[in-house]
Amino acid sequence: MKDISVDLMQYALVGASLFILVAVGFLAIWWKGLAKRDAKKELKNKKKAEKKQQKLEAKQQAKTQKSGQQLKPTVQEEEARAEEIAREEAAVRAEEAARAEAAVRAEEVARAEAAARAEEIARAEAAVRAEEVARAEAAAKVEEVARAEAAVRAEEAARAEAAVRAEEAARAEAAVRAEEVARAEAAAKAQVVGATVAAVGVQIPRFETAHIENDRVFTIKFYKMQTSQLFENYSFRLEDSLTIGRNPGYHHWTIVDDLTVSGNHCKIYQKDGQVYILDLNSTNGTYVNDQRVRGQMKLENHDKIGIGQGSYRIRIE
């Protein structure tokens, strides 16, 4: 196997050498051909140049001979030629003057256009600046107005809050006085009437009042609305009336944990076999089915009552 591979390598080297020799021979022949062709071209160009030179020399000789044979120009011909030269120079000067004048005019027009454009740009910039200033002033005025309105609202809110507090204080004081009067009257009337109003499961201390005899005694149940469930919070027997407020020890239902409930907020009572609700001039109002109570309003089963921040669904039994 080794001898065969060595022989193959030798054959390959010999073949490559032959190929290289043949290629070199062809290249040499081609190069000689190129050299001969370039030499022929150079000889041909040289001959053409010589012929051109001979023709030019012949033309120059002919011109010199012709100029020698021409006669000298006369005075009139010289004057005519001078006049023509003067006219040509005047025409050239006029043309140059016209070109210069046109250039000056074009430059003036360009300057005027540039000045007009600069003025337009300046006006546009001035307008933009004026608009920005106007917008800034308007924004400042709006902000000032908003601040003034906010200050007025804050002052009004403070005044309203102060008025509410003063009203609540006055109502609390009036409630205390009314409670004292009611206690005295209740103590005097207890010997004759002895009527009481009590809530089911809830004892109302120091609250007694006389009531009108009705054919029916209602039970009012309040369900506080929370998410999708209803929770029963309070249940009262309604023989005559039921008062609701924030003054402690004075109402059948006292709501002390809600500052939006007035001292004397509302009253529920029955009349001619029907149940009504009456707002007692509360600050934030009493609502039935999202409608504010003005005066008295008849209640139906499952109505929604809004007292302060609380919302309740009632059941009348």
Position 81 scores a pLDDT of 81
- Give the residue, 130 or 66, on which the prediction is more confident: 130
pLDDT score at 119: 86
Q: Tell me the pLDDT band of 241, cut-offs 50, 70 and 90.
A: confident
Average pLDDT in the chain: 76
- Using the predicted structure, report yes or no on whether residue 212 has a pLDDT greater than 50: no
Residue 265 CB burial class (10 angstroms; 0-12, 13-18, ≥19)? buried
Strand partners, 287: 292, 306
The predicted structure's pLDDT at residue 185: 53
- The number of beta carbons lying within 10 Å of the beta carbon of residue 129 is 10
**pLDDT average, residue stretch 42-52:** 80
Q: How far apart are CA 161 and CA 41, in angstroms?
A: 118
Which of 224, 207, 217, 222 has its CA nearest to residue 269? Answer: 217
Q: Which pLDDT belongs to residue 168? A: 66
Mean pLDDT on 57-84: 71
pLDDT of res. 164: 64
> What is the full DSSP assignment across 154-179?
HHHHHHHHHHHHHHHHHHHHHHHHHH
Q: Is the sign of the CA dihedral 19, 22, 28, 31 positive or negative?
A: negative
* Residue with the larger pLDDT of the pair 2 and 282: 282
Could you tell me if 280 and 266 are in contact, meaning their C-beta atoms sit under 8 angstroms apart?
Answer: yes
Residue 8's H or E segment, with its range, is helix 2-69
Rounded average pLDDT over 16-38: 80
Please compute the mean of the pLDDT values over residues 38-52 and round it to a whole number: 80
- Measuring CA to CA, which residue among 218, 219, 198 is closest to residue 208? 198
